[in-house]
Structure 1
Amino acid sequence: MSKLDRVAENCVLGEGPHWDAATQALYFVDIVEKTILKYTPETGKVARASVAPHQSSFVVPIEGKKDQFVTSLDDHLAIISWDGESDKVTVVEKLCIASCSDKSSNSNFNDAKCDSSGRLWAGAHVMDPLNIAKTEPLGSLYTFDNKRQLKSQVDNIKIANGLAFNDKTKKMFHIDSLKGTVDQFDFDITAGTVSNRKVWFTLQKLSIPGIPDGMTIDSDGNLWVAVFGGGRVLKVDGSKSETLLDTIDIPAEQVTSVAFGGKNLDELYVTTAAVEIQNKKPVRPVDGAVYKVTGTGSKGLPGASFKL
């Protein structure tokens, strides 16, 4: 039976968890509070640093560069420097800007992850600030690699979210939250391209409330999907479509993303949000916390750093 512990608190919109084996720490962000965070299980310490006036939606270490990370600053990708302790970061270099910025000033990068070759996959979207449900499909899923070229791989995205890669089966999984599905692609890691998109898992078919958000994959190739507004994490079969294997209930309703971590990669870290929606007040410290789930019987894959 799985066990759940609350390990960090007080995020408004916790997102983008990434376990770094080198530091044995979990990095994540609070998009609304414009901060990046580091949780170190050995000490229980949570360090926060501001990236204001910008918003950061993910933070991934750069391979071979101590204290350097690739992150988003609104609609830009950038390299930042942070020692993991102080409350401020230094912008080292802005790398590029999302192409969908030409369509609207409301464009922002969102979820991002590196494949095992160190190539960054980053989704961007143009969110309707007044009604998220009315967001138009103006976003894209991009790649950015050591050639410093931003390439659009998937277009017509509404809300770009979860990513997962399976090198063994040569598949990539991606979530456009407002589509309500986990989609599968054929994945060519050498070329850095995807093709043959198809729906893999549909929440509505099983009457699951909420929308799919962040996602990770375990060593058996199964997907772990955060459900925003659903108070749960889904374990989805990675080899058989439309198959739910397990559900983990989370005290917070707004579950945003997941990542495996710990020395044996057998701890599932779950980020959540505490956003007021339709006048429903969040409940602290339950909402907006980071949870650690143990005893799932599953292990994750090492988090890939960015190779520039």
Structure 2
Amino acid sequence: MVGVEIRQLRHFLALVEEGSFTEAARREFIVQSGLSSSIRALESDLGVALYVKGTRPLRLTAEGRALIPAAREAVRGFDSVHEAVGQVSRRLAGRLRIGVFTHVEHIVPLVAVLSRMTVLHPGLELRLAQLPTEEMVRLITVGRLDCAILSATEAARQELDITGLAAEPFVLAGSRRHPLRHAGSIALSDLADERFVDVPRYWAVRTQLDQLFLEAGLRRKQVCEVDDWGMALDLVAGDVGLAFLPRAVAEQGRDSGVWHRVLTDVEVERRVDFALPRGYAASPAARRLQIELVAAVS
């Protein structure tokens, strides 16, 4: 039965149950000649005759009668497969593995969206991992993450399906003791040879900052690297160095004397994007999360 198709079995069962080619063709919404061709192909695939030719009413051969229960079981099984897939699409279930970088909740309501999804789809199991952008891209491409919230690099845009969610401005932050606190305006050139608290090199915003200083022919002293915005803010407050921070993070430092400014000549921002594998590799749950997040930030 290697060559047998579910379509042929459906046509055979319609013929058995309706008793004529005309009625069976009408039930299956095909022309009578199409149904006849399908039955002949089924007989050829099985190597047997399924009905006695030229008899009215239709009379099945022994092989035809033997095929009926097997054909019904096969069609029911096929329908069950489609129903199971349809249930996953309509009522999401299974594991959804999400990568996310830090401090996005204030601009992308991920928690609220995930909460709503788990209420509507109790069979959905979430796995969240906070990872660098490059690692999230790699894990999506090898199938170990279903989706991610990240700042997409050009390389990521070549490999993944990327949807922009938001953009967050970055500001220059310094301690109350830093001389630039009293400057009316600050340009990138004013930061030459200043001491900086930086994020790791594999963070997208670090790549952006390094490129800005390189293109301007400026050097900055990287006195500390830290992978947590809260700690970076504390180090700035302690006058370890200046730092480029998300505006919302910098504003949290007011009580400790941290000031912040927008540079007058360049724009620094962190893009927040949603990443999926391309094409049919994206799971229904990941696509639903994409739709919900886009709606939430619109």
- Asked if Structure 1 and Structure 2 have the same fold, meaning a TM-score greater than 0.5 normalized by the shorter chain, the answer is no
Q: When you count strand as a share of all residues, which structure comes out higher?
A: 1
Q: When you count helix as a share of all residues, which structure comes out higher?
A: 2
Per the normalisation by structure 2, the TM-score is 0.22
Which has the bigger relative contact order, CA under 8 A and spacing at least 6? 2
Instruction: Report the structure number with the largest CA radius of gyration.
Output: 2
